[in-house]
Structure 1
């Protein structure tokens, strides 16, 4: 009996670790719940229940003994779809019977401990190039391409730096957008840049919470109203922070 209870607790640990990695990496709420319940079913748990919000996971399994429930808190969230893919792959291997509980937990721990797949410099470079491309996409001039590249890269660098100094997402996004606005304004005043609005639009695009908005809509459509509304509110705050930083810059024009 004690051995069966230990096995059930191990299954819960595997499910919760998989859910934690996915939720922290930007997966949708319904995907996290579905993955956890599928893993539990693959290990012989006939009935399980999961309740996932952007800040926590509650998971329980139904047995002949009193129901066992565990809760974990999610404090940090980012976007790392590579980890979501890895967890999905492990879940499929569990469903096909390729992995034991211990092997699955070990693989999940490795995925959880893995760092970002791209180094810091590559992220800055990608944000910079994307900013220039967005400027062209919004019918900006090629004369403004390099100013947008520099401004977008500096803005993304500011976002990461300010978030380390002040671990409050709203303020880091506000200060990053303010930095973008001031740099764009400096380029226009010095004659290097020409269209202030296009440079700013292209440069702030890497800060826009596109994945968060998409997940909020998908969660709402899937019936997860609490998660959908909370993610929508988070996306609104991000958009408000970006808009506020740019609005202050435009008061100097």
Structure 2
């Protein structure tokens, strides 16, 4: 028995799920739109349209069975492994290796999978990166351990504040405030020496580097709505980090005394 051809609704479901996974895990706007278009073309749909913003995706298929779908994006993180896997699935679809049902099943498994590193690995990586950034910014080796501890503790408290407050920018402000206070405490008791380099190295894991990069790439690709909104989000994050550190430094003078 010859299988029935896929419906526009099934194809739209696959395209939206692929776009949702990529956008939620750090994919650029133009890459998300390009992947959705290629997936639709792989299933024989050449008249599809997609409009992607950081908070939502609209996908439409023209024709007798016109289909328009909207999906809301409420949470975003960074997991480039999922973006890579979705790209691999889209290439398999373009080659005709997958049906819409098979592609949707694979994408659903990717969406549900927890491929991120354990929390302790993230904290350890942030601590090591903080110490390395301190050296890169011409800090002294005797401040490596204070930056190591402060950077790891800062990321730990960021995760805690995110669960407690549920307001991203306020959580980042509190985390940077904690980093500044802990760095000042280390310098005050003599465990650390150069407050500036300890703070700079410790806040680097909080800096929205991927967000800034995606904002610039979206602007260069002509996606001005997404580029400006991502740039504004990066600016607010940087402002929250700077405000938390500035609040601590306002109680500190050049001699390291309150």
Shorter-chain TM-score: what band? over 0.9
For the residue of structure 2 that corresponds to 1:192, the secondary structure is coil
How far does residue 4 in structure 1 lie from its aligned partner after superposition? 7.3
User: Is residue 37 of structure 1 aligned with residue 37 of structure 2?
Assistant: yes
Q: CA deviation at 1:117?
A: 2.6
Q: 4+ runs of 1 displaced by more than 3 Å? A: 3-6
Structure 1 residue 5: deviation in Å?
Answer: 9.0
Alpha-carbon distance change, 40 to 159 in structure 1, aligned in 2, over 3 angstroms: same
Cα root mean square deviation, aligned = 1.2
Counterpart mapping for 1:119-130 below 5 A: 119-130=118-129
Contact kept, 8 Å, 2:6 with 2:100, in 1: the verdict is: no
Q: TM-score, normalised by structure 1?
A: 0.97
1:83-125 CA distance string (max 9 Å, x none): 1001001111111111111111111001000114310100000
- Counterpart for residue 134 of structure 1: 133
Residue 233 of structure 1 is matched in structure 2 by 232
Counterpart in 2 of 1:217?
Answer: 216
1:81/1:221 CA distance change after superposition, 3 Å? same
Per-residue deviation, residues 111-155 of structure 1 (Å, max 9, x unmatched) = 000114310100000000000000000000000000000000000
Judged with a 3 Å threshold, the aligned counterparts in structure 2 of structure 1 residues 69 and 32 are, in CA distance, closer, same or farther, namely same
Give the TM-score, by structure 2 length: 0.95
Alignment of 1:83-98 (within 5 A): 83-98=82-97
Name the count of aligned residue pairs.
250
Aligned partner of residue 70 in structure 2, secondary structure: strand
Q: Which residue of 2 aligns with 1:8?
A: 8
The answer for the alignment partner of 2:110 in structure 1 is 111
2:164 paired residue number: 165
1:19 alignment counterpart? 19
Alpha-carbon distance in structure 2 between the residues aligned to 1:203 and 1:175: 14
CA distance in 2 between partners of 1:29 and 1:50 (Å): 10
Distance in 1, Cα, partners of 2:220 & 2:233:
18
- Which residue in the other structure is 1:251 paired with? 250
Partner of 2:58: 58
Q: Distance in 2 between matches of 1:196 and 1:221?
A: 38
Q: How far off its partner does 1:64 sit?
A: 2.6
- In the alignment, structure 2 segments of 5+ residues that lack a partner are 253-258
Q: Any residues of structure 2 matched to 1:202-213 within 5 Å, and which?
A: 202-213=201-212
